[in-house]
Structure 1
Amino acid sequence: MSRPEPYAFEFEDGTVREWQLTDMGADSTLVEDYTPSLFVSGPDDSLADLRARLEVDPKVAETRLERWATDLHEAHVGERSEVLRVDCERVDDVRQLAREIRGVHESGTHAPGTFRLFDVDLEPGFRYCLDRGIDPTPTRELRTLRLDLGDHSLAAGDVSALRIEGESVADTDGGGDPQSVLETLRDRLEHDDPDVLVVSHGDLVPLLAERASELGFKADEFHLGRTPGWTQLAGETTYESYGRVGHSPARYQVPGRAIVDTSNSFLWNQSGLAGLEYMVEQTARPLQETAWGSIGTLLTSRQIRLARREWAVLAPQNKWEPERFSDVRTLHAADRGGFTFEPEVGFHEDVHEIDFASLYPRIICEHGISPETVDCAHDAGDFVDDSHRVPELGYEVCEPVSDAVDGDTAFLPAVLGPLLADRAAIKDRLADDPAEPEASRLRAESGAIKWVLVSSFGYQGYRNAKYGRIECHEAINAYARDIALTAKRRLEDAGWRIVHGIVDSLWVTPREGVDPESLEDVIDRVSAQVGIPLEHDGSYEWVCFVPLRESIPDGDDEGTGAFESGSAGALTKYFGKRELGTYKFRGIELRQRSTPAFVAESQRAFVEALDREREPEAVCDVLERRLGSLRRGDVDLSTLEITTRVSKPLSAYRKRTRTVAALERYERRGINRQPGQSVRYVVADDDARGPERVRLPFEAGGEYDTDFYASQLVRACESVLSPLGWDRTRIRRALRDGRLLELSAFVD
């Protein structure tokens, strides 16, 4: 029987240790003949000079000339370039050698940009699977063990508060000292033999190892891995993406087990283990690398895998293709986003939400949009007709050249098509109402697919996308606008009125005095015409579209909060009641991460009161009762916590904001908070200056600022009543008019 494919990998001193899952646990195999490669293209004489220099470099195992496609355009027409393949002694040597080629070998004797580098910045495990053709998808059900330690305890190095699978070790075993906690953890590791450690923070790995050593545990008596030892793979970093500051904590590895750091895994928090396993299968990234990868990184990995395996295209280190020259008219038409219909602010009854299923990915697949097909540079014959021209822009979209690659599908459709098919199949299976374990797994897989599909459109306009191209981004938008306008015309001709629309979703209601055609019939006709399914997402008893505030607070300092009575609502700012009785919320406070739980729950109560009574005064009655709870001190402090993201170091802030006050308190406690990380606090005295303005969640006792949270409640109430024309001035006047509370105010 053949040996199962490995699921985890360790790299050290030019060797690779593969870990294969078995029925009993996992076995390892040492591989000593792996030499990772990078590729270099350039003029023949320059490559010859570079090759001579690299052959005497101790980091280089071998060099040779090979033929590869260096971009999708070459692969599209069946061309290949001669490139220099450089095999390195160790995985860590690849990026170092790439820096030397740029900074030493090129800058010294060649013009900048002489060399183009490929397959440089790949994660080690992904690179290894790519080179060896390994599928690291787990071959059996994975066993997990979750370890949690609060930020305060982590910063203090106190492992006595460790929780295993959500249960406090001290409470469970009656011993809260570090020695007992580590003994319990050791026994649990031996008993469960987990394949995956799910930790609340990666720094738990060195902390537990260091405490064990301090307490006298020998290396073979306590270790988180299947064998002793641990390795730091990367230090913590701060980055900026799409104008938003993010933070990546340090990453660690232990032998024979994958680590999922929940503070650094978007996909785990969205889709859990099932979503991670699905993306392992789709990308060929090992589980641990999949867990810390962003959605864009996972999409890129899937593209690199397909490009290498089926198109023989290398992955460029840097995006090389510039935006092509366009005349002013084309630039004006192209420099637009998706189509948006201005929402009709107010309260609307009998509303239906319809949307195009995965609009942007389906546009890519339906119209064959890909970097090599949009205004392709080669002369492939007279195969372009009007049906292959992008609306408004006139870009020509050529057909794939079937003899050039494996299959006759353009690159991006080949990447996204299987994901769309899988999601459709999952939807059909969920419609059959499977048992909960299977249904949960299917929902997780569908969620993972959704996020990757969402990123596929924006990726085309991303400046560092390895296979991105701005003309593709523009073409997708142009098709989306054309589709939205087509749907609008058909719906209005059939007697429906559009009360809001944004890119792929429309909200419609019957036109007054008109007996409209069946919505399902119109949906079917639109779907057939545009080639993309338009689906009835839900029916609403009523929907409120919220107007736009003149001044929107930045989350830390309150603006005026006044509403423009005739202004458009925020593009996805609405709430409504479905015909099934459930509520849907978008954009308002209770959907915002920074909103305290008490305010969010109160806003839901405001919506429910509006639904019951359909009168603003009834909502104000509920607000009055909630304000009373605040003033009496009846609100649990934990429900008043505010969570906000840090955008810069403490020293870089110029204003004395609440975030600064929280950062100062974290610093007092020895807890390091970097840009991109979040802080949590309760506002204790908003008029104070400095750290006394707030309290951290784990600080015992303390009071809250009643007036501050009262203003938050009024603001949340204003969002609910603003579609009916009420602003906070009118709300406060209603609170002062001495009315007796309605009985409905006491109903949640």
Structure 2
Amino acid sequence: MLILDVYSARKGVNLWLKGKKARKRYIRHDDSFLIHFPDKHKHSELIEGLETRYRVEETTFRTIFGEKEGYRVFAPKKVARIIETQAPEAEIYNADIRREMEYLATRGLSCLTEPFQDRFDLSIPELKIFECRVGFDDSLNPSRITSIESRQFSVEGREKVIIEEFMSFTDSFDPDVILMENADIAARMMFEKCREYGIDFTLSRGKFRFLKENSYYSYGAVKHRKSALIPEGRILVDTTSFAFREYGLKGILFTSRLTGLSANLTSRFTPGTLISSYEVYEALKRGIAVPFRKRDAEKPRKIEELRKNDKGGLILQPEPGVYENVSQIDFTSMYPAIIVKYNLSPESIGNGRKGFLSTILKPLLELRIQTKRMKKLNPDVAGIDAALKWMLVTCFGYTGFRNAKFGSITVHERITAIGREILLESMRLAEESGTEVIHAMVDSIFVRNSNGSLKERIEKETGLLAEEDRYHWIAFLPKKDGFGAPARYYGLLENGEMKLRGVMARRRDTPEFIRKAQLEMFDLLRKASTIEELAKLENNLNAIYRRYFLAMKYADPEEFFIRKRISRTSYSKNSLEASAVKEMKRAGVKLSPGMEIEYVVVDFSKKIVSVRNPESIDVEYYRKLLEKAYREVEFAVRNALSSPS
């Protein structure tokens, strides 16, 4: 019997079990948390007060630092917050854990895992899937559903008829998974329309919940999560979401299995939340208490200490130009591999104890190494590989997050310090072998004229696995100051693919018309396997540029939308984003910091934009963007025969 869905219920959890049909099962699971008082006699009255209202048991529990004497309090989580205000020195554990995760982890269960199947098994169970697209009267601020289309079902016309037929179809087809474009908008609207028209809402097998919208700060930027209707007993995935875009349905289902969260949540949570949930699940499974508040947050330090310890990753700027016979040696999940190899965890630094972080990240890392190799032959594994990659990427940043349950700034700094040493060692090995290092960036080095055995030697000396990409040629673009841009380059791999990093075609804010133009230009460059052939493409490249330059005046304005993430909803200075925000508000759109908006520039000088159904564009403004895209590609052609020696 497969656990398809799980969520908290009153004084327990609801499991949806998938056999021939899905059925709900309620299981009682009382809330409780753990508490340790450094001086319990000082707080005897508080303990007595708790015992008069709740069940309280003396207990010994484990933390990553060792055992603690304390109490298990069978009370709602909100009681822990009250205790925290009355006794700030009290150490509270397991007080903010999702009830369903605690239930699953403490019993060694997880979602979407067959009986006796290991959580790290790559096979995903067969589920009944339905995919559809919902049409609206207005994509910006929809008020009416105009159509629903899929391979199995299609209807348009009157809204009531559309929704009635769709709910009837959903009820009879009874899918386990619904993949829906803009599901987080459409599902809520369908619910409201069903209530208005008196139609049974069958998108959920049981009841449903609402996930609140949320603006949050992450890696130097404000981001936003939309509100969502979460069905019970069925998985609803928004195909426009980050998770589906990056790792698809299989990645979403696999992360649900790893984290103890329902797939409805893993499809909407960030990779940082997923790796945090995985850590909490593993702690609970091992009987380790999870701290309510991190008690060793980073303290203010002198600038001299920061300069010594907090240097980040090593970057060697490339000299701008075009290079032949280049190899890129890229360490596989370098920072997680360092955590595992060097046994880095808050409780293991300086004492050699087996660390919690290194222990739980090891199976993830081993699995990532496996999926990275497998996906080349089996595309079905690509989604799981992408999900693992994102979780492992964020696990490093999470060690330095001030509220991380199992983080430590000391661990964070030790990881980057070891990473710098490994990169320097790799550069030394390259130079010893007579190979020229032309660029290095955090977890990879670019070398010219490698003898072919460098990767194996680096792996042997550092103890970390690496991947090698060989280029016919590669171009490193300059910054405005003339120095090389570390993360802006492109090149032709020996397998015939173009690798693009940091160019306009890879940016999410690039209009589709400009993206298509640059991708066509890069496609032309694939014909050149040498820098001599590259230099001969100037006329052909210019012809592509001129064709798009002239066609722009007659192109569909819908191809010129610019996507931006807003950090605020009001602006004091006039700008394109400020104008777009004003237009969105006029259209009745509710805005929050971190949301992405789209607009077409109608008149750049007057900062006039259109946020829907644009009729014209500022041709001169977009031609400048086209020229910028052209110059990025032209750089390789123009500099092909004058590359640095």
So what's the TM-score if we normalise by structure 1?
0.78
SS in 2 for 1:528: helix
Partner residue of 1:63 out of 56, 62, 81: 56
Partner in structure 2 of residue 419 of structure 1: 364
2:164 maps to 183
Match of 2:642 in 1: none
| 1:283-682 superposed matches below 5 A | 283-310=259-286, 312-323=287-298, 331-376=306-351, 398=352, 400=353, 409-430=354-375, 433=377, 439-510=378-449, 518-519=451-452, 521-536=453-468, 538-549=469-480, 564-565=481-482, 567-569=483-485, 571-609=486-524, 611=528, 613-614=534-535, 617-618=538-539, 619-631=541-553, 633=554, 635-649=555-569, 651=570, 653-682=571-600
SS at match of 2:222: strand
2:22 aligns with 26
Are the equivalent residues in 1 in contact too, given 2:11–2:31 (CA < 8 A)?
Answer: no
- Percent of residue pairs identical: 26
Gaps of 5+ in 1: 75-79, 377-397, 401-408, 434-438, 511-515, 550-563, 727-748
CA distance in 2, matches of 1:325, 1:215: 59
Measure how far apart 1:133 and its partner are.
3.8
Decide which of 104, 113, 127 is 2:102's aligned counterpart: 127
Amino acid paired to 1:317: F
1:338–1:480 contact (8 Å) kept in structure 2: yes
Letter in 1 for 2:202: H
Q: Cα–Cα, structure 1 residues 613 and 34, in superposed 2: closer, same or farther, change >3 Å? A: closer
Q: Report the alpha carbon displacement of residue 442 of structure 1 after superposing the two structures with TM.
A: 1.0
Q: 1:703 to 1:428 in 2, by over 3 A?
A: closer
Shift in Å, 1:462: 1.4
Tell me if structure 2 keeps the 8 A contact 1:198–1:261: yes
| Distance in 1 separating the partners of 2:546 and 2:140 | 41
Query: Match of 1:240?
Result: 217
Q: Give the whole-Å Cα distance in 1 for the aligned partners of 2:625 and 2:303.
A: 48
The one of 28, 32, 40 equivalent to 2:35 is 40
How many residues are paired up? Answer: 620
Cα offsets for 1:317-366 (capped at 9, x unmatched): 22111458999876543221111111111111221111112211111111
Letter in 1 for 2:161: S
| Counterpart among 121, 129, 145 of residue 144 in structure 1 | 129
Matched, 1:253 2:230: yes
Query: Structure 1 residue 16 and structure 2 residue 1: aligned?
Result: no
Q: Which has the larger radius of gyration?
A: 1
User: Structure 1 residues 201, 664: CA separation in 2 closer, same or farther (over 3 Å shift)?
Assistant: farther
Q: Which residue of 1 aligns with 2:193?
A: 211
Q: Give the match for residue 51 of structure 1.
A: 47
Question: How far apart are 1:608 and its partner, in Å?
Answer: 4.6
**SS, match of residue 292 in structure 1:** coil
Distance across 2 between alignment mates of 1:640 and 1:460:
40
Using the alignment, how far apart are the partners of 2:393 and 2:198 within structure 1? 50
Residue 41 (structure 1) shift: 1.9
Contact 1:151 1:671 in 2 (8 A): no
**What is the CA–CA distance in structure 1 between the aligned matches of 2:467 and 2:219, rounded to whole Å?**
30
Q: Which amino acid aligns with 1:69?
A: R
Q: Evaluate the alpha carbon distance shift between residue 490 and residue 413 of structure 1 in structure 2; reply closer, same or farther with a 3 A threshold.
A: same
| Residue of structure 2 in register with 1:557 after alignment | none
Q: Which amino acid aligns with 1:655?
A: K
Q: What secondary structure sits across from 2:278 in the alignment? A: helix
- Aligned positions of 1:728-743 closer than 5 A: none
Amino acid at match of 2:197: L
- Residue 145 of structure 2 corresponds to 160
| Aligned residue among 84, 95, 103 for 2:71 | 84
Secondary structure of residue in 1 paired with 2:603: coil
Shift of 1:177: 0.5
- Deviation of residue 628 (structure 1)? 1.3
Change (3 A) 1:152 1:314: farther
Is it true that 1:230 corresponds to 2:230 in the alignment? no
Partner of 1:720: 633
> Do 1:195 and 1:257's aligned partners in 2 also have CA atoms closer than 8 Å?
yes
What SS does the aligned partner of 2:184 have? coil
Paired amino acid for 2:62: A
Cα distance in 2 for partners of 1:662, 1:428 equals 45
Amino acid at match of 2:327: H
Deviation at 1:28, TM superposition (A): 1.4
1:25-66: per-residue Cα shift (whole Å, max 9, x none)?
Answer: 2011222x3202122222212453333223445xx4x22221
Partner deviation per Cα, 1:373-420 (whole Å, 9 max, x = no partner): 1124xxxxxxxxxxxxxxxxxxxxx2x3xxxxxxxx422221111112
- 1:644-690: per-residue Cα shift (whole Å, max 9, x none)? 111111x3x1122222222222222222222111111221222234x
Gap change, CA 1:100 and 1:166, over 3 Å in 2: farther
**In structure 2, what residue type is equivalent to 1:38?**
F
Once the 2 structures are TM-superposed, how far is the Cα of residue 580 of structure 1 from its aligned partner? 2.4
Structure showing the higher strand proportion among its residues: 2
RMSD of Structure 2 on Structure 1 (CA): 2.6
Do 1:137 and 1:284's aligned partners in 2 also have CA atoms closer than 8 Å? no
Q: How far did residue 149 of structure 1 move?
A: 4.0
SS, match of residue 717 in structure 1: helix
Task: Name the SS of the counterpart of 2:145 in structure 1.
Answer: helix
Question: d(CA) in 1 for partners of 2:592 and 2:103?
Answer: 32
Superimposed CA distance per residue, residues 292-317 of structure 1 (whole angstroms, 9 cap, x where no aligned partner): 2221111112212222222x321112
Deviation at 1:590, TM superposition (A): 0.9
**How far apart are residue 274 of structure 1 and its match?**
0.9
Distance 1:236 1:304, change over 3 A: same
Which of 700, 703, 718 in structure 1 is aligned with 2:616?
Answer: 703
Q: 2:118 matched to which residue of 1?
A: none
Q: Give the secondary-structure state (helix, strand or coil) at the position aligned to 1:671.
A: coil
The more displaced of 672-681 and 44-53 is 44-53
Whole-Å separation in 2 of the counterparts to 1:50 and 1:262: 50
- Change in 2 beyond 3 A, CA 1:254/1:608: closer
> What secondary structure does 1:252 align onto?
strand
